[in-house]
Chains A and B, each alone.
Chain A
Amino acid sequence: MNHRRNRRNRRTLARTGTLLAAVLLAAGCTGSGGSSKGADAKAADDPSQVSGTITVLTHRTDLVQDGTMKKYADAFSKTYPKVKVKFDAITDYEEEVKIRMNTENYGDVLMIPNVINKNDYPRFFASLGTQEELSKKYRFTGFTTVDGKVYGQSPMGATPGFLYNKRIWAEAGVTEWPTTPEEFLTALKAIKSKTDAVPYYTNFAAQWPLTQWTYVNGSVSCDTGATAALAEGNPWAEDGELRVGDRLLYDIVNQGLIEKDPTTTNWEGSKPQLAKGEIATAWLGSWAVIQFRQAAEKAGADPDDIGFMPFPARVDGKACATATPDYNQAVSIHSEHKEAARAWIDWFTEKSGYAEDNLSIATLSDAPLPEALKPYEEQGVELIELDDTKGGAVKDIDRASEVGIYAPEYRQDLVDLARGAKDGDVDDFLDDLGKRWTEAQKTVGS
């Protein structure tokens, strides 16, 4: 019995083996050839002549569900009666779209996933025009420009900064924005000793909020070339942009100015907590202001308590805030209705009111700042836009070095280090990051 079973096993094994080999052969020709020739999505001259049904892939599942997107689409069809807009709301946007981009079916309009290499844009998207021409009218064009042509357009922009509860900060006796990391730490200590609030909330468990610290880049030196500096220098060198930011994060955690148990933080829960004054501060982006205000209303707290301040660094007495685009909308190179798709992008950026609705920085360069950033104007904070020519190279270096400045891991390690859950020295840690980064620069050859 035993013997027979063994023989049968061996036979099936052999058979599976041949099968596997056959499949291997079949799979040998893996990968797809993309079309490398570019295409243009030109703006239409006459809105009434543009026609077609377009599919828009979006990460804003909430807006599709509550009908807001439908309202935008209805308003759009008043100008463009022959265009029908359909939405495809995707929850795990990055991952799902990345896979769909291996095919030709990724909608007519989509948000450019972060994973797509900037230099590959011409393969996947139709050009919207030259940067020379578009940059006269719009912000953020540099972020999607390849060889002088623009491939995407963000409907809105944001600036990173600290969301804070004005009431708590006032109770702690801090009414002026801190201008150096030291002052910021002093302020947080005052909050800890004078109020019951958690001075700073890491959102450690939600992971992505930690990646926001990378957007410190540019705020420290007030240099529009800060991205190029990432590609060519060591961002963790003494006074490097990321070292200053990471060091502040380390000190905040190390001096016990954060929540008791960072490993079980709750992103959704942090919104009403900050609104109610249980949390004093969090480093996020101006896009978050509206969400926290809505949470405040729901929790019965005063939405006006939620304030926003720039990174505590000053160059010649002036603070700098970098304006960065949200997801950029692009036209698929495989779209059959490129004109209609382009019409949607232009209309959504200029006429939809999406940016105002989100209290965000509008893409039209002559539009006024959102109300949440009014204090910036009063205090003379300069809004700068980073030159993103080297943005692609930075991502390449990031991948090669496996540092992951847009991923949460290394900052989670930093927080663990700061609160003693991990052994090591912060300077060694940051130096090591710098070493890995500069070594990767050599292999990538930016």
Chain B
Amino acid sequence: MPQTTEKVARPPVVAPPSPRTRAPRRVRLWGKATPWLFLAAPLALLIVFTYAPVANMLAYSFTDWDGVSPELDYTGADNYVEIFTRPELFRVFFVSAYYLAASAVQIAAALYFATILSFNIRFRNFFKGVLFFPYLINGVAIGFAFLYFFQDGGTLDSVLALFGYESDHAWLSTSTSANISLAGVSVWRYMGLNFVLFLGAIQSIPGELYEAAELDGANRWHQFRHIIAPGIRPVLSLSVILSISGSLSVFEIPYIMTGGATGTETFVIQTVDLAFRFNKTGLASAAAVVLLLIILAVTWVQRRLVPDDKVDLT
């Protein structure tokens, strides 16, 4: 076949692309891959330590696993049915109301301090440190420290005695006072975080605005009302979301200090008890999924009510 031989003899048309076109292509490929290369480590960590456990939890929530036995049976939605047919499992959400109220106090106080400390004040950095410090302490340590604090004749009682108030109050002994005390600890601990977030947001507001406002005769309250508050609205709404989801999933402080006794049990403590005291890992996983869904729903509703507007200070 002459034709074929001719074809073969002819230099191939498509064959080796010139190095000039090849190089940019590789560069382009690399260019596309670069962000993924940088992302590889965090993504791997995220998948291994966040999504895989969550997926596992979802899988467990459809089984009757007890947490240790080699066997587990698929039980369908039985666990979810059980959760929603046992209203006492949701009663513990009333405890969250204490923490919700506390987080209102917490945000207000954080906002107050952040505003004050964003102006020029003596020992400003010192006070910033003091306010942020509690957030740096390990939650377990805080739990133990405050156990002594609330003890009969403990720190709180001695401090009150200094002011002439002889307290005979067992702080953690009734449901109300225990929950208020615990919520107080939670405010003490997390206010620092809110405070830093607010401070950062306030400091990103251009300084000229204050000057201009002052020239126009605005006092501090006016400045707060019309410059600071609108300026930090996204951070404010973020804090509110965080504190609501935080109030629904309170755990370490009551768990360490009271173990959920005297009416301080929260939903997460209840879930942990289900999983580790009664070895109902399947049911506990389902409870955890339900909590996750509740928090997602609350957040969604909140985003609907308070849309994330662009900050406009002009």
Contacts and interface: CB of A to CB of B under 8 A. Distances in A.
Interface stretch (A23-31, A68-76, A302-310): A23-31
B78 interface: no
Contact of A263 (B58, B173, B276): B173
Contacts of A19: 47, 51
Interface string B243-283: 00000000000000011111100000000011011111000
A49 B295 CA distance: 62
A370 to B, nearest CB: 32
B55 A120 contact: no
Nearest to A408: B259
Interface stretch (B63-71, B185-193, B223-231): B63-71
A101 B66 CA distance: 13
A24 B58 contact: yes
A205 B68 contact: no
A193 interface: no
Most B CB atoms within 10 A — which of A260, A263, A422? Answer: A263
Interface stretch (A183-191, A349-357, A399-407): A399-407
Nearest to A114: B279
Interface string A399-419: 100101001110011001001
Interface residues of A, number: 47
A265 B171 CA distance: 13
A297 interface: no
Given A205-B147, A399-B280, A419-B173, A261 B65 contact: no
A31 B261 contact: no
Interface string A242-264: 00000000000000000111111
Given A116-B68, A263-B170, A27 B59 contact: yes
Given A263-B172, A422-B175, A205 B258 contact: yes
Interface stretch (B3-11, B18-26, B134-142, B150-158): B150-158
A123 interface: yes
A270 interface: no
Nearest to A204: B261
Contacts, number: 122
Contact of A262 (B173, B273, B279): B173
B122 interface: no
Contact of A98 (B60, B68, B178): B68
A263 B70 contact: no
Nearest to A260: B152
B40 to A, nearest CB: 14
A140 B277 CA distance: 25
Interface string A1-44: 11000000000000000011001101110111110000000000
Most B CB atoms within 10 A — which of A31, A408, A419? Answer: A31
Contacts of B68: 98, 101-102, 113, 115-117, 120
A77 B170 CA distance: 54
A117 B261 contact: no
A contacts with B: majority SS: loop
B193 to A, nearest CB: 24
B52 interface: yes
Contact of B273 (A1, A259, A407): A407
B56 interface: yes
B290 interface: no
B150 A264 contact: yes
B278 A404 contact: yes
Interface residues of B, number: 44
Contact of A24 (B55, B70, B170): B55
B151 A264 contact: yes
B310 interface: yes
A27 B152 contact: no
Contacts of B313: none
A95 interface: yes
B70 A31 contact: yes
A92 B170 CA distance: 30
B258 A263 contact: yes
A30 B174 CA distance: 44
Interface in A59-98: 95, 98
Given A23-B47, A264-B154, A117 B69 contact: yes
B51 A23 contact: yes
A377 to B, nearest CB: 38
Given A116-B68, A264-B151, A422-B175, A412 B262 contact: yes
Contact of B55 (A26, A102, A116, A123): A26
Contacts of A407: 273, 277-278
Contact of B261 (A113, A116, A412): A412
A294 interface: no
Contacts of A95: 276
Interface string B282-312: 0000000000000000000000000000100
Nearest to A20: B51
Given A20-B55, A27-B55, A263 B72 contact: no
Contacts of B280: 399, 402
Contacts of B55: 20, 23-24, 26-27
A404 B261 CA distance: 14
Contact of A422 (B47, B260, B263): B263
B172 A261 contact: yes
A117 B70 contact: no
Nearest to B70: A34
A399 B70 contact: no
A266 B150 CA distance: 12
Most A CB atoms within 10 A — which of B54, B172, B260? Answer: B172
Nearest to B152: A261
Contact of A421 (B60, B173, B273, B274): B173
Nearest to A1: B310
Interface in A96-139: 98, 101-102, 113, 115-117, 120, 123
Interface of A: 1-2, 19-20, 23-24, 26-28, 30-34, 95, 98, 101-102, 113, 115-117, 120, 123, 204-205, 207, 259-264, 266, 398-399, 402, 404, 407-409, 412-413, 416, 419, 421-422
Interface of B: 47, 51-52, 54-56, 58-60, 63, 65-72, 147, 150-152, 154, 170-175, 178, 258-263, 273-274, 276-280, 310
22 contacts: A20-B55, A23-B47, A23-B55, A24-B58, A26-B52, A26-B55, A30-B56, A31-B72, A95-B276, A115-B66, A115-B67, A117-B68, A205-B147, A207-B259, A261-B170, A263-B171, A264-B151, A264-B154, A264-B171, A399-B279, A404-B278, A422-B262
Q: Which 3 A-B pairs have the closest CB atoms?
A: A34-B70, A261-B170, A263-B172
Given A27-B56, A115-B67, A264-B152, 11 more contacts: A30-B60, A30-B72, A31-B65, A120-B69, A263-B178, A264-B147, A264-B172, A407-B277, A413-B261, A421-B174, A422-B175
